[in-house]
Amino acid sequence: MALIVQKYGGSSVASLDHIRRVAMGIVTTKSKGNKVTVVVSAMSGETDKLLGLAGQVMSNPPGREQDALVSTGEQACAALMAITLESLGHRAKSYLGLQLPLITDQVHTKARIVELQSDILHDDMNDGIIPVIAGFQGVCDNGSITTLGRGGSDTTAVALAASLKADCCEIYTDVDGVYTADPNICPKARHLKKISYQEMLELAGLGAKVLHARSVELAQKYQVPLVVKSSFGGEKHTWIVNEEDVMENSVIKGVTLERNVSKISLIRVPDRPGIAYKILSPLAETSINVDMIIQNASTDGFADFTFTIPTTDLEKAQELVSKIAEEIGALEMLAENNIVKVSAVGIGIKTNPGVAARMFKSLSEENINIEMISTSEYRISCIIEEKYGELAVRAVHKVFGLDDLNHTKDGEHKHE
Amino acid sequence: MALIVQKYGGSSVASLDHIRRVAMGIVTTKSKGNKVTVVVSAMSGETDKLLGLAGQVMSNPPGREQDALVSTGEQACAALMAITLESLGHRAKSYLGLQLPLITDQVHTKARIVELQSDILHDDMNDGIIPVIAGFQGVCDNGSITTLGRGGSDTTAVALAASLKADCCEIYTDVDGVYTADPNICPKARHLKKISYQEMLELAGLGAKVLHARSVELAQKYQVPLVVKSSFGGEKHTWIVNEEDVMENSVIKGVTLERNVSKISLIRVPDRPGIAYKILSPLAETSINVDMIIQNASTDGFADFTFTIPTTDLEKAQELVSKIAEEIGALEMLAENNIVKVSAVGIGIKTNPGVAARMFKSLSEENINIEMISTSEYRISCIIEEKYGELAVRAVHKVFGLDDLNHTKDGEHKHE
């Protein structure tokens, strides 16, 4: 008998039929003597529909109201899941973030969890009730509804697993785990049975949509055993575990393509101390994540200053930065969003100095120009033109020996 | 300068365009120096859509979960209204029932308000913020979301007006006030400029869908000046006021047709003391409103026992009553839902003994058979076959001299 937190993503609960299929799985798990707490996302398409409505009204809706609006998607799905479990003869209760409560900071649309009360869920499970929690949402200390950002339901699930001291947290999604690259882009991508928290964190942060980055961070911090499974069945799955528990230590574990990247450049900025802080601090204050930063060598007392941000924050960032550009006397501000970020991720990077050079060589062999570079212990990332993105993923995937040799010409995988 | 609570029904907020039009009206009211608190229903069709989803899963979903599901409709609409007000340059904040809080009893799907905290709304209005409250919903003392029943947003609005000590409560709907009958059924129906709380209460309870009955009750109790207006503009409106303030005291003020009526009969019930209690108390416990009750004269120690309930509760009621029928040894249980209730409402009834007779005569002249009758100080009601419902309304409307004499043959009203 174990205590299991199961999280079902939007594609797993896309329709009432999907919800019923998922509910039967939950009932099976419970009937084996386990205690189960369920976390659900909104039915697929619902969040985009709601954001679309808000976007029709105004381009930058206030975060507080946007959160109140989109959080209804998860709420409705949690209630429908509870009703479906009841229809199968099991007692179930839905909960909003507000009801637990799951308390976050006040950063609307991308809040972070501060505290989570889960005592009531223990009581429910002891009474044979299956709690169904609306993922993605919380409440901040002034009582407003907040949301945790795209994919935030994963984080809800892991936080609950940590708080409930669950034996494991199962993330059910539309793929059967983590691959060395997105199989839609790279048909020779291989399935991974295990990956370290740190590697997964880099992959998630880079747009591999299997898990929300924050959820991996939390899972590592609280040592929550985390597994990604397909909600459509099948034996394959990927465990996310500690570094020392990953057996297969290839240098590079995966290659990602991040499309939500834009670049802002300030041309001929007076090269004075404190300029970078002056440009970037208003972005930090509004919780816009600046990723890569380049300031080119000053020649005549002026420098060009370039940085990347998520395209979803481009409009707000341009607004803020254009004011600063004027204040500091920059010649002009340029914005570009036809770029992508290709990254190679793996524990081996820190101990294999030649890795970056191999990646750059593979890109140059395809005549792909690298606009910006950044590296970390576990990652090498290159900003390139958008049109070369998929080609670059395949080239890097191949150069690190990740291609699946069982992959046949007609695009099918042999059975393992 | 006044403090005004404005409530907008589903048809007033049916689309983003509707919401924008309504928002401009709110802004106009505020710009005249008034303080405004807004209450919204779900966008029209949304509540039915959500109930339909729940109904596809199971026929009698648990009330707690049904409430959690349908309350998302108002929540989404309140957030969209707040965003729209912001897009017009005004600060606005949406609130769920849970957030105020609006505390109710635990009777899911038709809860009653127990307590309402509105201090935060005073603070908002003093700061120039327009609060937008999701109508229809509250929270009970165990933290579960409750709803106030169909039309419950009216009650939210009046309760807020009472709590805020508002100068008036404006109910915006798709009609321009209260008529002597539904103009769709009775083309000669007349518009009423004023009607008493008591008369309105009877009309509302009888399915005249202009106002939620509970809202009128609250308005009378707390003496909230209440006015019904069309959200599509126009000068016409109806004030709901104290009896002594209604000038035009015709005997009958309105005729209604209630379609949500079903009848359950228990045949050959042993005629013992306590039988009625035994039959009806389980219904009361599950908050099913029994309306009319007839027990026919006992002949041989057995009697037939008939009562009416809302058709929406028929299934649940049949389930409960069939068990009791067996217990008390009734011969059989019959259920019928092809009936309607036609009612005449007016202050004059209690002081004019001949009124009931005139109503019965007008029905008999149309060869309409009366199955059940009930009367109160302000109301006479007859249960008749469904197919005669609309004809009966026109006949009763005419016999009490309510027909609009300005009404021309082509169905148009002359301008007043």
Question: In the CATH hierarchy, which top-level class contains the domain A3-174?
Answer: alpha beta
Phi, psi values for residue A367, rounded to 5°: 60, 35
* Residue B395: exposure state from Cβ atoms within 10 A (0-12, 13-18, ≥19): buried
- Type of residue at B62: P
**Which residues of A are less than 8 Å from B79 in CB distance?**
54, 65-66, 68-69, 72
**Which residues of B are less than 8 Å from A86 in CB distance?**
58, 61-62, 65
CA angle A97, A103, A105 (to 5 degrees): 125
The predicted structure's pLDDT at residue A407: 62
CA angle A147, A153, A159 (to 5 degrees): 95
The predicted structure's pLDDT at residue A414: 44
Secondary element (H or E) of residue A173: strand A168-173
**A3 and A222 Cβ atoms separated by less than 8 Å:** no
Which residue positions in chain B have pLDDT lower than 70? 207, 247-249, 407-416
**Model confidence pLDDT, tens digit, residues A313-341:** 999 999 999 999 999 999 999 999 999 99
Q: Is the dihedral of CA A31, A37, A42, A44 positive or negative?
A: negative
Q: Find, in chain B, the residue whose alpha carbon is nearest to that of A58.
A: B87
**Model confidence pLDDT, tens digit, residues B287-337:** 898 988 888 877 788 888 899 999 999 999 999 999 999 999 999 999 999
For residues A144 and A151, give the distance between their C-alpha atoms in angstroms, rounded to a whole number.
Answer: 20
Q: Find, in chain A, the residue whose alpha carbon is nearest to that of B51.
A: A80
Q: What is the DSSP letter of A414?
A: P
For residues B26 and A197, give the distance between their C-alpha atoms in angstroms, rounded to a whole number.
Answer: 52
The predicted structure's pLDDT at residue B277: 87
pLDDT, mean over chain A: 91
Q: Does B153 touch chain A (CB under 8 A)?
A: no
Respond yes or no on whether the N-terminal peptide bond of residue B183 is cis (omega within 30° of 0): no
Using only C-alpha atoms, chain B has a radius of gyration, in whole angstroms, of: 23
Q: Does A84 touch chain B (CB under 8 A)?
A: yes
List C-alpha distances in Å: B266 to B270, B307, B319.
10, 9, 13
For residues B226 and B167, give the distance between their C-alpha atoms in angstroms, rounded to a whole number.
Answer: 9
Q: Find, in chain A, the residue whose alpha carbon is nearest to that of B78.
A: A69
Q: Does A66 touch chain B (CB under 8 A)?
A: yes
Mean local confidence (pLDDT), A23-51: 96
For residues A308 and A334, give the distance between their C-alpha atoms in angstroms, rounded to a whole number.
Answer: 12
Torsion of the alpha carbons at A326, A331, A337 and A343, rounded to the nearest 10: -100
**Model confidence pLDDT, tens digit, residues A110-123:** 999 999 999 999 99
The predicted structure's pLDDT at residue B246: 79
Q: Does B99 touch chain A (CB under 8 A)?
A: yes
Query: pTM for the full model?
Result: 0.82
For residues A99 and A33, give the distance between their C-alpha atoms in angstroms, rounded to a whole number.
Answer: 27
**B74 and B137 Cβ atoms separated by less than 8 Å:** yes
Contact B20 A84 (CB under 8 A): no
Question: Does A174 score more than 60 pLDDT?
Answer: yes
Q: Does A83 touch chain B (CB under 8 A)?
A: yes
CA angle B158, B159, B163 (to 5 degrees): 115
Instruction: Pick A86's closest partner by Cβ from B53, B62, B96.
Output: B62
The predicted structure's pLDDT at residue B247: 67
Question: Does A133 score more than 90 pLDDT?
Answer: yes
Question: Does A48 score more than 70 pLDDT?
Answer: yes
Q: In what order do the strands lie in the sheet with A35-40?
A: A92-95, A130-134, A35-40, A3-8, A168-173, A226-230, A237-241, A194-196
Q: Does A247 touch chain B (CB under 8 A)?
A: no
User: For chain B, what are the domain ranges?
Assistant: 3-174, 262-336
Q: Number of C-alpha atoms within 13 angstroms, CB side, residue B34?
A: 19
Contact A69 B83 (CB under 8 A): yes
**Which residues of B are less than 8 Å from A82 in CB distance?**
62, 65, 68
**B196 and B242 Cβ atoms separated by less than 8 Å:** yes
Which of B80, B88, B100, B141 to mutate against chain A (most A CBs within 10 Å)? B80
- Type of residue at B293: I
**B350 and B377 Cβ atoms separated by less than 8 Å:** yes
Q: Does A34 touch chain B (CB under 8 A)?
A: no
Contact A82 B75 (CB under 8 A): no
Would you give the distance in Å from CA A250 to the centre of its chain?
23
The predicted structure's pLDDT at residue B408: 54
Q: Does B82 touch chain A (CB under 8 A)?
A: yes
The predicted structure's pLDDT at residue B407: 62
Question: Does A200 score more than 50 pLDDT?
Answer: yes
Q: Which fold has domain A262-336?
A: VC0802-like (3.30.2130)
Q: Does B89 touch chain A (CB under 8 A)?
A: no
For residues A292 and B251, give the distance between their C-alpha atoms in angstroms, rounded to a whole number.
Answer: 80
**Which residues of B are less than 8 Å from A61 in CB distance?**
83, 86-87
Q: How confident is the model at residue A203 (pLDDT cuts 50, 70, 90)?
A: confident
Q: CA of B285 to nearest chain A CA: how many angstroms apart? A: 21
ipTM surpassing 0.85, yes or no?
Answer: no
Mean local confidence (pLDDT), A212-228: 94
Q: What is the DSSP letter of B110?
A: S
Q: Does B79 touch chain A (CB under 8 A)?
A: yes
Question: Does A409 score more than 80 pLDDT?
Answer: no
Question: B37-56 as b/e, with b when 16 or more CB fall inside 10 Å?
Answer: bbbbbbbbebbeebbebbee
Contact B68 A79 (CB under 8 A): yes
CA angle A65, A69, A74 (to 5 degrees): 140
